[in-house]
Chains A and B, each alone.
Chain A
């Protein structure tokens, strides 16, 4: 039996699969003061015996919570002489351009806890000034007296040569084994001292908390007879063992949200769909991401808490590239000072929620607009509200000022919500040079299936997939994941004067490192898959483009293929090339997967019941109100075809099939909608 649990803001989800491929799902309340209670609750509720758990996968918000609530431990920093203020000076930028009362992020380590040692490397990584460990002793005494629990070590140019950082770490371990230590070079081998220091500081800040959490969970699982193999979901869309996660807990920062994106890529693999646009619409936000050739996109440009008005804290760790916007089912429609209609980012949340929930919500939301248009039924919510009171509140909050009737108002809100989401979808696709017509959309989250068909049509996407496990899709994704680690090493070199020996050795060293980590995690060498790539640019540029290196060794015969590949990618992204400028390598990158055998999937076992629930009036932009057929999702089988316009209902959500679209269901229970599928046949 494999079990995945995912702690979300409101619910803790569970998906389990047994040896025959039978899937069990469960949901239980999240218990913020004591997260593991929620985990054990949901396992017991799903009637799973702890002794049967072979593999345990887990996604958790413990790291992101500690960071955003500033609840980490007292942390000290050791850095190069002359540079202790790098963490406070940061990059000097002011994203809120016209606000002269802008407040930049406050460093999480106070100035008196940022200490310097008089060592120095030059940009080549050569020692200019030796390290004197005696200086470290004085610093440790001060940290002890101040009650420091974790130490970050970040020295200038350590991405090039990490010896001094390692020596200090070893010295601390010898003299103060209880304190948690993080070196910047173990997390990031890329240049830019502020970003690397920030990453090390934040990792140190949450390390004791994450360790307590994982130790405690591990112990309790063992106590109950489970926990032979425990894995944590990381932000890069792969997993690691608990032991590796304890060293670098910062890799768990987006543990939950990425699992859904990863799950989509696995589902795509099973369905033979390599290129996907993933759309996840929840209560307060919509997330978009792109999967190309079954690979989720990773970047190291993550900024914690960043907004358009706030710089946030940089974390140079691999995170799945997600564009997230404040537009979900609960997003509130309102009129701004200039008289413009807006949808979101403010949300009615889970409580009181949209008006339709009947829990006291009074603000018009996207979900309410969908109810008024007949796309959702009030019966979905077991709500006491009626349509009339929703209409009344739409009129009083918006309609009177805009001089618009309820239908136009509701349709207008859906249009604006769709436009917001369309912009986000374009950011991950067209704006990066991808043609959406080559992609299939996977729609997840409660609001996904309601909007995905409109959006797919706008983008030119021909097919939408709505997974059978949609409500607990993130947990399902975890069950299917592999061990994964990403490495990036800055190595600046012009391609025309490249030393192949040097670069091949560097690759070899990183891969050796990676294999060691995986072998410590119990992975057999034969199941390890290595992918190499490079960050490249034209000489003189700053921003880089990633290019894969599909060769065992780079040499004079294949370098041109790599460069050609770079030109093509540059053209796709930025519409032009500069072949005469020369190219250079900035970072060399390695991704390693430790393949875990996938569970078997069994076919959907359907309950039998009345498929056709009747007919109801639904509003479409082109046609206005029309009567359409309504079907129950659970009772459709793989021989059914539903032609739009139609509505497919399930417990908390519904799928809108537009005129001209065709829905089928596969034997695993996934719904597949061909956009414009009907016209293709005629």
Chain B
């Protein structure tokens, strides 16, 4: 490939493009109204070339890595030449255009320089509310998309710089916390404008041609890097299967399978034969699956690279139509990660034995989402918690697993501090501790899961949660034992226990009732009997395992 721009100027332009993505990302977090955005960082910002190929993306979570470019491509497909400077498009359609669930709302803006289209900037963020049957717009028992909230099928929100107030009014009228949703929408638009401004400055400085050429060159470099890494991977075909807990409506487990083929220049993930789309809301959109596959693909090929669509050119993803990984209207999708994560998990399981330097044993494998709301005891207002939970990660060939980390589809995600939670919400946290159940024994031990409890301080609160990997455990590797599962139960004020559950929609809680959330301990790595004595003794001293477990699992003979 021959380029007109010299390698040094190219480097400067490329760095500026990357920092533009990062800057858009920071701008959104700092102005958002929703904890799910500013604390959990459940959003992504990026820019694409004129054709919608992702050039650079600022991420808070990995789960959006496949979505921005599809959003832009959908906009181009729908509007073609009818795209003008100052336009902003609003999109959350789950079945096309980079959709996941309705809560993840995207905005797309074309960037023009002296009248010529040079790029698109886009971002996608989790809104706390988009309407629908349940507060928080996520349910474990919805049976079609219409119960899950407002659908934005790529609408023109700004027409040449003029906001369409009617759309905004429609949103305000149909969501439960309009100040949050609309506040976040403005934050998203401000972030787009920041990005657009930077791109124009860059064209002013280095010429439009150089900037456009540098985008293409960056994409080509991404592909080249991936091809180099593919050459180092084991070649062949690998097959694995696993079970999704259930669809939230019935108790039946769902089979999912992968046939993975790696060649010198392709990485083909074939999910055909997996469960068809189901009645409950655990269906994943195809772009959800793509994001999930891309995440583990990067972990395997090159986790440090600056992410762009070029890096994914060698990746092929195949599904049946209308499968649990490629749902179509009107399948419900609000808890889509419960199947989306398996796209990632199956590849992880297939390759963990072959790539011990890249992959750990199994981790908690669920976002473990909690949605809880009600009255604050001291304020005349409602509160709403929407948050993921931390849990245990698997051990690796070198060391014990981490405790208290979010699942792989989260990322630069932060838990809500107890002091902040108790101030903002009508609850008290009685415990935030490690779940030292001793599972995940191994030469290297799985990281313990976490226990967090919420005690209601007012009557008539509600609690919804989806904890996947409830009916199965996090898996061990290379002779390491399996970890544990995710679960929660309710301890009523009178001491009665209800549960454990993996999913529950709108459980009613009164003052003094407590929900106890327990996430999985990660899988162990290597045979427990190979763990050295000092480490076992320190584990007992630190309360990670009991003396009994040391004897049973590790063959520990007692203090000398």
Contact = CB atoms under 8 A, between A and B. Distances in A.
Interface of A: 82-86, 88-104, 110-112, 122-124, 156-157, 159, 191-195, 309, 337-342, 402, 404, 408, 411-413, 415-416, 419-420, 423, 431, 492, 538, 540-543, 573-576, 578, 581
A574 B299 contact: no
Interface string B452-489: 00000000000000000000000000000000000000
B12 A415 contact: yes
B224 to A, nearest CB: 6
Interface in B428-465: 428-434, 450
A337 B225 contact: yes
Interface string B2-15: 00001111111011
Given A101-B360, A543-B30, A423 B19 contact: yes
Contacts of A86: 418, 432
Given A110-B542, A340-B14, A404 B7 contact: yes
A123 B423 contact: yes
Given A83-B431, A89-B434, A99-B304, 20 more contacts: A92-B390, A92-B404, A98-B298, A101-B359, A101-B398, A112-B542, A122-B422, A156-B418, A159-B419, A339-B7, A340-B7, A341-B8, A404-B7, A408-B8, A419-B12, A431-B23, A541-B31, A542-B39, A573-B30, A575-B194
Given A98-B298, A103-B399, A104-B402, A88 B434 contact: yes
Interface string B54-66: 0000010110000
Interface stretch (B89-97, B133-141, B163-171, B407-415): B407-415
Nearest to B396: A101
Most buried by B among A85, A338, A542: A338
A82 B359 contact: no
A576 B190 contact: yes
Contacts of B183: 538, 540, 578, 581
Contact of A100 (B27, B180, B228, B359): B359
Nearest to B14: A340
Contact of B11 (A83, A104, A340): A340
Contacts of A82: 429-433
A200 to B, nearest CB: 14
B235 interface: no
B511 interface: no
B313 interface: no
Contacts of B543: 111-112
25 contacts: A82-B433, A91-B414, A93-B414, A94-B412, A96-B303, A97-B411, A99-B299, A100-B303, A100-B360, A100-B408, A111-B542, A159-B419, A191-B417, A192-B420, A194-B417, A309-B304, A339-B7, A419-B11, A423-B16, A542-B32, A542-B38, A543-B30, A574-B30, A578-B183, A581-B179
A192 B296 CA distance: 32
Contacts of B360: 100-101
Given A83-B433, A111-B543, A193-B418, A97 B412 contact: yes
A82 to B, nearest CB: 4
B190 A94 contact: no
Contact of B6 (A97, A101, A123, A412): A412
Nearest to A89: B404
**Chain A interface secondary structure, helix, strand, loop or mixed?**
loop
Contacts of A83: 418, 431-433
A122 B433 contact: no
B358 interface: yes
Contact of A543 (B38, B305, B411): B38
B480 to A, nearest CB: 15
B12 A416 contact: yes
A110 B539 CA distance: 11
A412 B8 contact: yes
A386 B543 CA distance: 64
B414 A412 contact: no
B314 to A, nearest CB: 15
A282 B60 CA distance: 32
A88 B403 contact: yes
Contacts of B429: 82
Contacts of A191: 417, 419-420, 423
A538 B434 CA distance: 35
B406 interface: yes
A100 B296 contact: yes
